[in-house]
Each structure stands twice: as structure tokens, then as C-alpha cells.
Amino acid sequence: MSRNFASDNASGVCPEVMEALIEANHGHVPSYGNDSLSQETALLIEETVGRACEVFFVYNGTAANTLVAKAVLRSIDSIICPDTAHITTHEVGSVVNATGSKMINVPSTNGKITPEQIKAAYEAETYWGAHATRPKLVSITESTEWGTVYTLSELAAIKATCVELGMLLHVDGCRIYNAAIALDCTLAELCEHIDILSLGGTKNGLMFGEAVVFFNKTPADGFLHVRKQGLQLHSKMRFIAAQLQALFTNNLWQKNALQANTMAARLADGLAQCNGIEFHCPVETNLVFVTMPEGLAKPLMEVTPFYPNGPKPDVYRMVTSFDTTEDDIDRFVAAARKLTL
């Protein structure tokens, strides 16, 4: 079956993860995460992120983000996030539905916001006292929805602002592995300033499964019940744990993310030589955003499918995956060059 640039969710399961699933499919074990594999994987994640933490496995990223908010917020509270954040644009209002909390969307630059913007949003909301909500959580995405990354110093600065204002920092890490490769750092370094992490997996080779990681014990209290009430307590938890264990064994997460990032860079290098194609934002991870005439986009989509990034067909998104090959890239770039001569 052919590959495409529609999404890293379109890719299959990486072989090592599939093997781990098959290996886990033997015998009977305790359910609901009480098996040894689930417990070992939680410890492996703790070792990888380099900090004491509590790990809870869930099915998907939207659930992870939503249940984090449910654990932390009351209906009188609010979340400050970029206006491009998945949590506010593509999760069908799940956080608001689950918590009644307000989303304070901050205008972003290439998907990123600054400490100054966070503080300004906080002050604008709290100025009205009892007539407004209490900002309690900052939620950002690493890497962002535009494929850009927060540097380690930027994360530290945002965390310092959260501490100053009495807020927690949540990171949607659906592509945190790609960010780590882009920054040439460890996951421990990336997680140093985070309070709560939605740890991805599906976009980096898993069949399904993510994890909520609490570095701050207070909001973790009661999360076992929050997860169950939120319909995310997998009875056969070992099959989520097995996949994540494979991802964190023998540096598989690095191998997969490096391949995706490298192929995106190769794609960007090739498209840069094509007339009429411009880059909408820097290419830092495995997402490539370009502008091109609609008349060029349509025939290129027939070569390798990709999507407009919204209802107006002016910006297009191309996503590479752990299994994207040089041949996939070169065939597409050759077609683009031929069409732009």
C-alpha cells in the first residue's frame, strides 16, 4: 500500500511495536493496569523522563488533554493556550464540555506563545476579579501544530512565568519525540520544566495509546477515578504498555522521530527548488507547510495525497512519518519540479 503526506496518523505500526504486541499476547494477567508489564513500562517512562512522576495510560491524545484539564480545573477556572493549539481548535470542545472551564486563546507566532503574552492574558482576565475566571493552567504543544519547537530556554521561561502567576504548565506532547530530535536533547531535558505531560505514541509508530504523566503530585491525586469516569481505563492495559515499552527500548522513539524529521527536511530541500512554492513557516520537525497555487496543489495531491491546512486552499500541510522513505520524497519532488518548470 502506498504512503502519503496526509498525516503521521496515516502510517501503520512500526515492526518493533507490532512484535511487542504479539509478545504481550500470551496467557492471562491481572487487568486494569495491575499487570507487571504496565508497571514496568511506567517505571521505564519515569527513567526516560528523568524525574519522579506518576504515569497513567490512556487511549488517545484528546482524552489525555481533556482528562488533564478535568483533574486540574474547576468550572470557575481557565486555560491559557495558543490560538492554534489542538486542545482548542481540533478537540470538539472536549475540555469545555468536561470541565466548564474557559479557553483563553493567545495569538501565536508559528504556533508559539511567549511568557509576556501569557502574563498579559492572565492580567487581562484577572483584572475583573470575581467577574472573571481564574487562569490555572497554561497548555502548549511541543512540537507545535505548525511543526515548530520551543527551545529549552523558552520552556524554562514559560515555566517561570507559570510559577510567578500560580499556574501549572501542561505540554501536549503528541510529537514531543520530534521536538527532542530537532533540539538534539533528551526527553529528560525537555521535561525538566513541565508539570503535566500528554505523552504521545500514535504519531511515532504505535497502533494506539498515549500516557498522562504528572510531575506534580497534587493534580495526580484522584486521577485513577478521573480516568475511569472519562472512559479511558483500558481493561487489557498491557497492550498499551507493551507498545510504549517498545518505543522506549533501544532508542526506538529516537529512530522513528529522526526518520520522520530527516524526511521532512529532505522534502523541504526539494520543494525549495520549485517555482511558485513558498514556505509558510520554518521546517523544524516532521511537518512542512507551504503556499502554492491551487492549480499546482491538485495534481501534486494525485502523486502523493496531502491536505489544505484549512478551508481556504492557500496553505498546505505535508507530514512525514517514521516509515517515509527517500523514494517517497524524491518521487514527489520530481513531480513538483516537472509541474513548476
Concatenate the DSSP letters of all residues of 95-164 into one string.
HHHHH-PEEEEEP-BTTB--HHHHHHHHHHHHTTGGGS-EEEEEEEESS-TTS----HHHHHHHHHHHHH
Residue 135 sits at the vertex; the CA angle it makes with 133 and 141, to the nearest 5 degrees, is 135
Which of 247, 269, 289 terminates a domain? The answer is: 247
In a domain, 1, yes or no: no
Per-residue pLDDT, 1? 57
Are 148 and 268 contained in the same domain? Answer: no
Which of 225, 247, 269 represents a domain boundary (last residue)? 247
Relative orientation angle of helices 294-303 and 326-339, to the nearest 10 degrees: 140
- Total domains in the fold of the chain: 2
Size of the chain in residues = 341
Predicted pLDDT of residue 274: 96
Pair (257, 213) in one structural domain: no
Kindly report, residue by residue over 240-288, the tens digit of the pLDDT.
999 999 999 999 999 999 999 999 999 999 999 999 999 999 999 999 9
Has residue 7 been placed in a domain?
no
**For residue 6, how many other CB atoms are within 10 A of its CB?**
17
Residue 330 located in a structural domain: yes
DSSP state of 5: S
Q: Which three cell numbers stand for residue 165?
A: 502567576
Give the domain range for residue 182: 15-247
Same domain for 268 and 240, yes or no, is no
**Mode of pairing for the β-strands spanning 134-141 and 77-82:** parallel
Q: Are residues 199 and 287 in the same domain?
A: no
CATH code, 303: 3.90.1150.10
What SS3 state is found at 272?
coil
Domain assignment present for residue 4? The answer is no
- Take residue 194 and report the three cell numbers written for it: 513541565
Within-domain flag for 92: yes
CATH number at residue 133: 3.40.640.10
- pLDDT digits (tens), the chain, 341 positions: 589 999 999 999 999 999 999 999 999 999 999 999 999 999 999 999 999 999 999 999 999 999 999 999 999 999 999 999 999 999 999 999 999 999 999 999 999 999 999 999 999 999 999 999 999 999 999 999 999 999 999 999 999 999 999 999 999 999 999 999 999 999 999 999 999 999 999 999 999 999 999 997 778 889 999 999 999 999 999 999 999 999 999 999 999 999 999 999 999 999 999 999 999 999 999 999 999 988 999 999 999 999 999 887 789 999 999 999 999 999 999 999 999 98
Residue 220's pLDDT is 86
Q: How many CB atoms lie within 10 A of CB 71?
A: 22
Taking the C-alpha atoms of residue 184 and residue 105, their distance in angstroms, rounded to an integer, is 30
Place of cell 514531543: 176
**Separation of alpha carbons 175 and 6, rounded Å:** 16
Q: Per the domain annotation, does 192 fall within a domain?
A: yes
Q: Based on the domain organization, do 131 and 42 belong to the same domain?
A: yes
Residues 104 and 218 in one domain: yes
For residue 2, is it within any domain? no
Q: Which residues contact 92 (CB under 8 A, 6 or more apart)?
A: none
- Of 201, 230, 247, the last residue of a domain is 247
Q: Does residue 187 sit in the same domain as residue 314?
A: no
Integer Cα distance of 134 and 122 in angstroms: 8
Q: Is residue 187 left, alpha or beta, with left meaning phi > 0 and alpha meaning psi from -120 to 50?
A: alpha
Torsion of CA 208, 214, 215, 220, to 10 degrees: -160
The answer to whether residues 93 and 143 belong to one domain is yes
Residue 39: count other Cβ atoms within 10 Å of its Cβ: 15
Instruction: Say whether both 177 and 314 belong to one domain.
Output: no
